[in-house]
Amino acid sequence: MHLAQHTSTHLLGNFLGDFVKGKQWQQLPIELQKGVQLHRWIDSYTDRSPIVQQLTRIFPQGVQRYAGIAIDIYFDHLLVTSWSDYCEYPADDLYSRFYQQLENSPKMLPVNAHFYRVRRGLLERRWLAHYGNQVTCLKAMRAIEHRSRFTLDFAETCYHVLRTHHGTFVQHFTEFYPQLLFSAQKYVNESFKCQETLA
C-alpha cells in the first residue's frame, strides 16, 4: 500500500497482485493493471535483492524455502513500526483510503476465491494496523500454513529466527527499503510512461 501511494499507483490494484493469476490482470481496468504489474515487479525485485538473499541464509536449511515469506511479512511489520521515517502522513489515512477502495471494488473481478475471503476479513476486522505488533507476523505465517494445500511447518521456526535476529533485520530493512522506494518509482516512470506512449 505504501509503495502504491509512493508511486501514485492504484492501492487496490497493487493489492490484487496476490490474487490475480497468469494473464488475468489484462482483464482489469488499466489503473488496476498498473497496480498488479507494480506488485509483481516488487516481488521480483525483492527476491533478487542481495540484502534479502543474505537474510535468507540466517534461517535454518529446513525452512529456507519459506524465508522469503517470513522476510516479506516482517518487513511489513518493520515498515509500520518505523512509518514516520518514510511517510509524512499517518498510516491510518492510507488504510482508510485502501479500505474504501476495497469496499467499492467491482463485484466481478478476475481473481481467485481467496480474495473475497481476505476482503471480508479486512473490512470486518481492519487488521492492517495490527502489523505494528510483532506477534501479528506469527499469525500471518500460521494463516499461510493453514490454507496451504501442502503440509507446511515453518511459522514457529521462522518467527523464532525473526525475533532472535531482530536487530539484523532492522539494519537490513533500513538499507533495503529506501532502495526499493527509489527503484519502484523508477520502474513506474519508465514502464508506464512507455506504455502510454505505445497506446
Pairwise pLDDT comparison (24 vs 163), residue with the higher score: 163
Distance CA 75, CA 195 (A): 31
pLDDT digits (tens, 9 = 90+) for 83-102: 999 999 999 999 999 999 99
Residues 6+ apart with CB under 8 A from 73: 137, 140, 141
Is pTM beyond 0.95 here?
no
The pLDDT score that the predictor gives to residue 152 is 74
C-alpha distances out from residue 37 to 30, 105, 137, 156, 188, Å: 10, 18, 25, 32, 9
Report the candidate in 50, 56, 47 with the shortest Cα–Cα distance to residue 165.
56
Distance CA 14, CA 4 (A): 6
C-alpha cell at 27: 482483464
Distance CA 34, CA 26 (A): 10
Across 109-118, 119-128, 147-156, 168-177, least confident range: 147-156
pLDDT digits (tens, 9 = 90+) for 1-18: 999 999 999 999 999 998
- Does position 113 have pLDDT exceeding 70, yes or no? yes
- Does position 66 have pLDDT exceeding 70, yes or no? yes
